[in-house]
Amino acid sequence: MMKTVFVTGAGSLVGLATAEALTRAGHRVFATMRDPFDRNRDAANVLWAQGIDVVHMDVTEDASVDEATGYARRKSGRLDVLVNAARTSATFSTLGEAPTEFGRILEVNVVGTFRVLRAVVPGMRGARSGLVINVGSIFGRVGMPQLGLSTVAEAATEALTDVAQAEFAPFGVDVVLVRHGMHPDMTNRHHATAPDVSRPDGTSHSRLTPPGMLDAPDTAEIAATICSLVAQHSGYRASRMTVGNPYGTDMLDRHVEDLRRDVLDMAGQAERPPG
C-alpha cells in the first residue's frame, strides 16, 4: 500500500538512500534538506532525477519546518510516515568541544527532531494512524570516547523516542528507533589514529577513530530496514532496530524495555496491544 513519507536530512547519505529506497518501493516521498539549490544541489539533483519532491527545510527553524510540512500536507493531503534522518556530529573529545558546538549538535539532532515531531504527529494522531522512525546510533546506549558530546545527543534521541512511543501509541502512532551499529568486520580491529586536528581553543590533538566508525553499516542496509518498517502492520513493529553489530546493546535494550513496561504499568500508562 502506498504511503506518503516525509524524510528529513535527505542531503545526507542515509536520508538520500532512504528517500530513494522508499520511492522504489512505491511510496510518495517528500525529501527535505537545507539549500537544495546551493550546498545540497548534488543530492537534490539525484532525487529530482527520480521524480522525488525535494523541499527546503532547516530543522533548526520553526518557520522552515512549518512551511515544509505544510507544503507536503497540502500536496498530498496527509503524511503517513515521518523519517527523522537529519543528524550532525563532531569527533572531538568532550572537553575539546566548545559549548556553542555542543548546542549546535543538540539543536539539530534533538531539538530538530522534536520540532518536526510537533509539526507532523498531530495529523497522525487525528487520523489515529502513523509511523515515526528516528535515526540514531548505539552510542546513545554506550558513550564512546572521542565522539565527545555527540553521544549525549544520541542518548537524548533514545530518551525522546521512549517518551514518544509511550505517548503516541494510544493514538495508533508507532515510533521506532533505527540505530547505526558497527560493521561486523570491525569487531576484531584496533583503534585507528587520525591526523592531528584542531580544538576550538586553538590547540591540536591526535584523534582516535572508534572501532566501527571506519566501516559503518552500509546506508543501503539502513534504508532497507526503514523500508521494511514502513511495510509492516501497525502495532507489530519493534521499538528499536540496530543495523550492524549491536555490540551487546540489544541485551541492554531487553532489560530496559522490561523496566520501561513495568514503570508504564505502575503509572497506568500501559501501551496498547498489537493490532
Task: Inform me whether the pLDDT recorded for 137 exceeds 80.
Answer: yes
Ramachandran category for residue 173: left, alpha or beta (phi over 0 → left; psi -120 to 50 → alpha)? beta
Which CATH number is 73's domain given? Answer: 3.40.50.720
Complete DSSP assignment for 36-75: TTTTTHHHHHHHHTTT-EEEE--TT-HHHHHHHHHHHHHH
- As given in the structure block, the three cell numbers for residue 146 are 572521542
User: pLDDT tens-digit profile of 21-54?
Assistant: 999 999 999 999 999 999 999 999 999 999 999 9
pLDDT given at position 91: 64
User: pLDDT tens-digit profile of 263-275?
Assistant: 767 777 665 544 3
> Which amino acid, 37?
F
- As given in the structure block, the three cell numbers for residue 112 are 530538530
Taking alpha carbons only, the member of 173, 179, 104 closest to residue 138 is 179
pLDDT given at position 250: 79
271 domain-assigned: no
Burial zone of 22 (CB within 10 Å; 0-12 exposed, 13-18 middle, 19+ buried) = buried
Complete DSSP assignment for 158-187: HHHHHHHHHHHGGGTEEEEEEEE-B-GGGG
197 domain-assigned: no
Averaged over 116-140, what is the pLDDT? 95
Average pLDDT, the chain: 83
Averaged over 203-209, what is the pLDDT? 35
Q: Which domain holds residue 236?
A: 4-186+218-266
Complete DSSP assignment for 187-218: GGPPPEEEEEEE-TTS-EEEEEEPTTSTTPPP
Percent of the chain residues past pLDDT 90, beyond the cut: 61
191 domain-assigned: no
CB 17 within 8 A of CB 226: no
Total domains present in the chain:
1
pLDDT given at position 192: 36
153 domain-assigned: yes
User: Among positive and negative, which fits the CA dihedral 61, 16, 134, 148?
Assistant: negative
Question: How many Å is the maximal CA-CA distance in the chain?
Answer: 57
Q: Residue 166 — φ and ψ, nearest 5°?
A: -70, -40
Give 207 or 269, the one with higher predicted confidence: 269
pLDDT given at position 128: 96
207 domain-assigned: no
